[in-house]
Structure 1
Amino acid sequence: MLTSNGYVLDQSRLAELTVVPDRERADRQALRERLWRDGYLYLTGLLDPEVVLGFRRYYFELTGAVTDRASYRKVLFDQIVPGPEYAAFCAQPRLRGWFEWFLGGEPFLHKRKIIRQTAPGENGIGTATQAHYDLVYLREGSDQVLSAWIPLGDCPVSRGGLTYLEGSHHRVLEEEAAGRLKHPAASMTADLPGLADEYDARWLVTDYAAGDVVIHTAHTIHAALDNVSTGIRLSTDIRYQRSADAVDSRWQNHWHDQDGL
């Protein structure tokens, strides 16, 4: 049984996230067509697992000794988020180089980069990321921003990884074009089963491994599952775009949970 913010997902509305096959990994046109069709690219093993696990160890070396929320927030927002280790991880050659190749030009990495940690058993509305698409938070720049979701360590389904609403970007694009937006500048809902029924679509899930990366468009609806495992779920989500395109200036400061975005 899978849940998100306490809502039980309907088994008939679940399917497996599709991995980009090896034959397409070096075919930029095929990847672009797949991204347009599916709204995401699931790239297994794009990063070196040891680099990913090394950053995970660094993170817990700094946060593992804190005993209260205030101390944790200070370490996270004063040391880790603005630190050189995080900057290097997000701009590592395997990641930045992939975007440079895929975009066909100089890539631009948004400074606002997010780290999410969820412990086993944490629950309540808002614990898991609610359903949304990224453009509602990035309206002052290009709508061609691409997000990279990176599990910082193995993340089986039970640990609360990201889930995507199948084909949702096509409907979102239509609603954007027609001006029929219902939920601007906010998450859509915590009720993933209800949203799946509304869209007549399935939530796509999988067991992620260290080194995997999912690239998704700014129009693709996604959310997170509850962590019902025995381990901590740690991930980061960052955003690249073409450097020549319009940039949302609000995303050019380091992430903070009080930044209003």
Structure 2
Amino acid sequence: MAPSRIDTPQTQSSVIPSSKDLKFTVDDGYDSYHPVDPHTLDLQSNFGPMDPGSVGYLQPTSVDTPLEIMHERYERDGYLFIKKCIPKETSLACRRAYFEHMAPSGLLKPGTDAVEGIFSGADTRKYMPPGNLRRLFGLKDDPESDKYVELMVSAHEAPFYVDFCQCPELRQFVSRFMGWKNPQMLQRTMLRAFVPNSELTPVHFDQMYLRAGPPTSLTAWVPIGDVSLQGGGLMYLERSTDIGMKTEQDFADNAHNLTDEERISAFNKNMNDGGFLSRDTVAYGKERKRKWLIAEYEAGDVIFHNPFMVHASCKNKDPENKIRLATDVRFVDPEKPYDKRWMKVYRPLDGL
């Protein structure tokens, strides 16, 4: 029997407080990170260039910031961008091992160091992630492309990646931040390598895919190695948890024609093909009148976000032709209800 849909509770007020409403303050430059003028960047969506006026910056928080400050920033902004959350060496070791694992697929430029992740320049359709986007746009019947899929899927159970996901510093931070004694990482994780000029992450929020449980999970998006401002790192729609909550409620209100099993699926007939909100990040941001927030990520950084926070990515336009490698893992309190469909290792087109 399919699990019944759990009605979405309100996890935070739809009226998001401004900086002046915060109870706690710390002089760490938060709200002042602005590394370059967005007009100088080559930021590309699926439908052309991003509007520089619609681009802002994610604000970093140091790992030793007082907990009450971190909680208020997360509640207000929907994310927490933690610098040096895990050891840099841990991130780079995983990056090297991943690209060594993937080398037989022709992914890397010959003669380059695996840890750099320099793209070979082959047809980018070979290296689209398995799933709905590859089904729609990927290369068919190509041996090298098929090898990529095989290796990419098997990487989710490779010892180097399993060890990376068990990083004690990451789990300790989640436990401290969420107040969970023994946080449970959901077994279904997403390990993705986006090559330059290929497909991007469409617009979505996580609760769409976790509907068989309440919206109490915490997602950690972990860059594996550095990701430049133009490298296609994850970007967030400014203070958009209210949009995610309203959108999910609209989906629920229109689900009267669906079975219980269909209601909890992000791919039901009321959703877009592929289960996302939009492939046009520019139009979506303008329609919502919010900026897209980007960042330069360094090995060791982790960004945590609310399950209703709307996010996406630009195309990878890294000036050094580096592949963007990252994983997203989700944590829950095992003593409370959660979407147990995610307690299995990722497989392409597994319905989630």
Q: TM-score, normalised by structure 2?
A: 0.68
Aligned with 1:142 (options 214, 217, 221): 214
For the 8 Å contact 1:142–1:245, the answer to whether it is kept is no
How far residue 27 of structure 1 moved from its aligned partner, in angstroms, is 2.2
Number of residue equivalences: 254
CA distance in 1, matches of 2:201, 2:293: 15
How far residue 30 of structure 1 moved from its aligned partner, in angstroms, is 2.1
How far residue 207 of structure 1 moved from its aligned partner, in angstroms, is 1.0
For the 8 Å contact 1:103–1:241, the answer to whether it is kept is no
Deviations 1:173-228 (A, max 9, x none): 24445656785882100111111111110000111111111000100000011011
Aligned with 1:222 (options 311, 314, 336): 311
| Gap runs ≥5 in structure 2 | 1-41, 107-143, 255-269
CA distance in 2, matches of 1:128, 1:59: 20
CA distance in 2, matches of 1:156, 1:258: 30
CA distance in 2, matches of 1:121, 1:20: 30
For the 8 Å contact 2:243–2:310, the answer to whether it is kept is no
CA distance in 1, matches of 2:47, 2:196: 13
Number of the residue aligned with 2:278? 189
For the 8 Å contact 1:6–1:226, the answer to whether it is kept is no
Q: Does 1:71 align with 2:160?
A: no
Number of the residue aligned with 1:260? 351
CA distance in 1, matches of 2:197, 2:285: 24
Number of the residue aligned with 1:239? 330
How far residue 247 of structure 1 moved from its aligned partner, in angstroms, is 2.0
Q: Does 1:202 align with 2:307?
A: no
Number of the residue aligned with 2:75? 36
CA distance in 1, matches of 2:203, 2:48: 12
Number of the residue aligned with 1:170? 242
Aligned with 2:86 (options 35, 41, 47): 47
| Gap runs ≥5 in structure 1 | none
RMSD of aligned C-alpha atoms?
Answer: 1.9
Matched position secondary structure for 1:187: coil
Number of the residue aligned with 2:300? 211
Which structure has the larger Rg over C-alpha atoms? 2
Deviations 1:100-141 (A, max 9, x none): 11121220100001111111222xxxx101000000000011
How far residue 21 of structure 1 moved from its aligned partner, in angstroms, is 4.8
Which structure would you say has the larger RCO, counting Cα contacts within 8 Å and 6 or more residues apart? 1
Aligned with 1:118 (options 177, 191, 194): 194
Deviations 1:37-92 (A, max 9, x none): 000000011111111000000001111122412222222223x2112321221121
For the 8 Å contact 1:168–1:199, the answer to whether it is kept is no
How far residue 26 of structure 1 moved from its aligned partner, in angstroms, is 4.1
Q: Does 1:2 align with 2:2?
A: no
| 2:204 partner amino acid | H
Matched position secondary structure for 1:158: coil
| 2:48 partner amino acid | Y
Aligned-residue identity in percent: 31
Q: Does 1:153 align with 2:225?
A: yes
How far residue 165 of structure 1 moved from its aligned partner, in angstroms, is 0.2
How far residue 32 of structure 1 moved from its aligned partner, in angstroms, is 1.6
| 2:333 partner amino acid | R
Matched position secondary structure for 1:172: helix
Determine which structure has the larger strand proportion and give its number.
1
How far residue 4 of structure 1 moved from its aligned partner, in angstroms, is 2.0
CA distance in 2, matches of 1:254, 1:191: 30
| 2:305 partner amino acid | H
**Stretch moving more, 84-93 or 145-154:** 84-93
